[in-house]
Structure 1
Amino acid sequence: MLDGMAVQPVLLSKWYFGGLASAGAASITHPLDLLKVQMQTQKGKGDSLFKLTAHILKKQGIMGLYVGISASLTRQLSYSTARFGIYEVAKQHFTPKDGSPLPFYMSAFLAGLGGFAGGLVGNPSDLVNVRMQNDIKLPSEHKRNYKNVFHGMYSVATKEGIMQLWAGASMNCSRAALMTIGQLSFYDQIKALLLSTPYFGDNVVTHVTSSLSAGAIATTLTQPVDVLKTRAMNAKREEVKSVFKLILSTAKEGPTAFYKGYIPAFARLAPHTILTFVFLEQLRINFGYVKA
């Protein structure tokens, strides 16, 4: 009892739900992620989204849009399981006993912490994912020809050194922290705001509205770091001397270079975020646990 009132039971997610939900979403949105990577690694003006799509379909058919899917799923099962798991467990631990919401600054801090850890855990599969997706547009003599995510990791470790699996990790972790703040803490904040009105209930409409808004915020926060991360991961070791030099070389292309691929990034992240949270909420509703 608290002030004469019983604490209402709350239906909570299990720590691994986020990874499962993200993997399910990635299996649907992977073609958009592939197009985003190819646009980000273009130098200069580059081809449009439609030209890139047409080129892939002409050369490799529909399956060309699913190059690197094994790495994409492995990335979500490592990166997203870690970031969602840390955020959910920490949020449930620190939420006040009276059921009042966690302050936004605390939610954002926990999301950033979870995202940073997830970025570190998921970096090897993310690196292979970027390289497999970019391989499709390279001339045959420069292709890496990874058969799958595990072959890719083995090739990188044996040919370039095991630490190369964490190439771009500083930018990847920074991006992951910003992404998780944009997606998780803003999703919770927007959802709570909607539920405080008489017009929304805990249903799919609210979940889609909250996740779409969170996806837009996350894309805007992360796009500059995402461009740098993609270029660092795709480059050979000798081509990237420091993060500062990478920033300078990108800046020489103009300020819009940091937002290259923004449209496919949002076009991919918006449905990915929506699907992730719809799947997550369904897992919570159907397989979650009750905490009084």
Structure 2
Amino acid sequence: MSNNIQTPLYFGGIASVITTLFSHPGDLIKVRLQAYRGELKSSIQVIKDIYRYEGIKGYFNGMSAGMLRQATYSTVRFGVYETLLVKMKQKNGQVSLWQVLVAGCAGGAIGGLVGNPADVANVRMQNDASLPVSQRRNYNSVFDALGRIVKEEGVGKLYLGLIPNIGMSMAMTASQIGSYDIFKQILVYYGMRDSSPYTHFSSSVLASLVAATVVSPIDVAKTRIMDSNVKIYNGLFDALVTIPRKEGMVALFKGWTPAFLRLAPHTIIMFLILEQMKKYYIEYNMNSQKLDTRSMMLGKN
């Protein structure tokens, strides 16, 4: 394959939106665990509660918000990340740890900013059914949620938790996309094929472990801030200090298991789809270039 063919920057967003169809229930369970204040609940208990009180459809609450979030947040973070990485790549096509960290943090920061409104709607819609009936918002869709938040609470509420969200997005992009590229590079070095689905699968699993652990504390703080109508914490740092002080250090890792169980298939499916999209795009363009070259040669003759 030719390294001169640049794939569209929006491919990452498309792959992420498609993947949301499979990963949304896991994300919802994670949010429910993180937003719950009190004695720790197990993932199994949350799964049972959702089925008992909401039925199967309860696992898909907020799907429209989840898809809009990926369409905004992931499209931007992948686009910025890949643009920067192309500029920074070494002559041999390899990337270093610092390069993926810089590109990941930059992509995550801008993606987090763009995707914050949809993320606020996503958190609220996913957790709504777990609230007392009198406190539920009962949004009909992500657009209903965004419209009502602006009308009832002001535009500023769309940016609740912006700082922790940007922090989480930076950590997620660097630890998920960045570590995926690093792991894939290592596996290829030790003999696996760059284009092999097995390489993509293995890199995705390893990246999921890293990402789930790195982002968990920030993700818990972000969920708590976004889910509240009133100011409970004075920013990300205060939340990261207050939560473990009141609930123990383990509270910062509430939802780690469902986060990993959601992130692993999300990451695996996302990168498998993305790699195939890139593969077929490059092959199509290479074949088109060959046809163009052949036509030019025949024209000259």
Normalised by the length of structure 1, the TM-score is 0.92
Alignment of 1:97-176 (within 5 A): 98-176=91-169
Please, which of 227, 231, 238 is the counterpart of residue 220 of structure 2?
Answer: 227
| Counterpart in the other structure of 2:16 | 22
Distance 1:170 1:85 in 2: 21
Q: Does the CA-based 8 Å contact 1:108-1:181 persist in structure 2?
A: yes
Q: Which moved more, 1:70-79 or 1:195-204?
A: 195-204
Alignment of 1:231-270 (within 5 A): 231-251=224-244, 252-270=246-264
Distance 2:9 2:135 in 1: 41
Distance 1:190 1:238 in 2: 40
Distance 2:109 2:101 in 1: 12
Matched, 1:193 2:181: no
Structure 2 gaps of 5+ residues are 290-301
| Counterpart in the other structure of 2:70 | 76
Please, which of 245, 254, 278 is the counterpart of residue 284 of structure 1?
Answer: 278
Determine what percentage of the aligned residue pairs are the same residue: 36
Q: Secondary structure at the match of 1:202?
A: coil
Task: Give the structure with the higher percent helix.
Answer: 2
Please, which of 30, 38, 41 is the counterpart of residue 32 of structure 2?
Answer: 38
Note the aligned Cα RMSD (angstroms): 1.8
Q: Does the CA-based 8 Å contact 1:215-1:270 persist in structure 2?
A: yes
Q: Does the CA-based 8 Å contact 2:95-2:182 persist in structure 1?
A: no
Q: Does the CA-based 8 Å contact 1:11-1:285 persist in structure 2?
A: no
Q: Secondary structure at the match of 1:238?
A: coil
Q: Does the CA-based 8 Å contact 1:11-1:284 persist in structure 2?
A: no
Deviation at 1:244, TM superposition (A): 4.1
Deviation at 1:201, TM superposition (A): 4.4
Q: Which moved more, 1:47-56 or 1:265-274?
A: 47-56
Higher relative contact order (CA closer than 8 Å, sequence separation 6+): 1
For 1:274, the aligned partner's letter is I
Deviation at 1:12, TM superposition (A): 4.2
Deviation at 1:136, TM superposition (A): 1.1
Distance 2:144 2:27 in 1: 21
Structure 1 gaps of 5+ residues are 1-6
Please, which of 91, 104, 116 is the counterpart of residue 85 of structure 2?
Answer: 91
Aligned residues: 284
For 1:269, the aligned partner's letter is L
Distance 2:128 2:276 in 1: 36
CA spacing shift, 1:52–1:212, aligned 2, 3 Å: same
Matched, 1:218 2:211: yes
Deviation at 1:111, TM superposition (A): 1.0
